[in-house]
Amino acid sequence: MENALFYKSVLDMDKAPVVICDLQHTIIYMNSSAIKNYEKSGGAKLIGQSLLECHNEKSCQMINRVIEWFKKDKNNNIVYMLKNTKYNKDVYMVALRDEKDKLIGYYEKHEFRNGETMKPYDID
């Protein structure tokens, strides 16, 4: 089985939304959680669209500023963007790099801060 299928499956099974963009800000992938999360904005129809069209001018400026920071150094790879108190989560912008550390894109990472409510190994 091709490794890409495993990587895609990891993202698809994640409960947190994942939106991946290329350096032209085109949304190239959304996992099912992201599609559901952004349903009111178009959901899956956002794939192929510019991420910048979904943001206000100030947010677009910040996104572009982060991209420039990512480009400056191969160690510049994650930026905290905001705390979403409604859902108790932090949101980050994360660099995507190829095997030679060249910046190829970025993604939005959500980290929920609520404790897990599922029981350990509750599979019966």
CATH number of 3-112: 3.30.450.20
Of all residues in the chain, the percent with pLDDT exceeding 70 is 99
Phi, psi of 106 (to 5 degrees): -160, 165
For residues 32-55, give the mean pLDDT: 94
- Tell me the domain boundaries of the chain: 3-112
For residues 86-106, give the mean pLDDT: 95
Give pTM, 2 decimals.
Answer: 0.87
Q: Are 63 and 25 in contact (CB under 8 A)?
A: yes
pLDDT band at 54 (very low <50, low <70, confident <90, very high): confident
Q: What's the pLDDT at 93?
A: 96
Phi, psi of 120 (to 5 degrees): -55, 130
Q: What's the pLDDT at 59?
A: 93
AA letter at 13: M
Q: Are 107 and 21 in contact (CB under 8 A)?
A: yes
Closest to 103 in 3D by CA, of 59, 58, 66, 50: 66
pLDDT band at 116 (very low <50, low <70, confident <90, very high): confident
pLDDT band at 68 (very low <50, low <70, confident <90, very high): very high
Which two tokens mark 48?
A: 């192929």
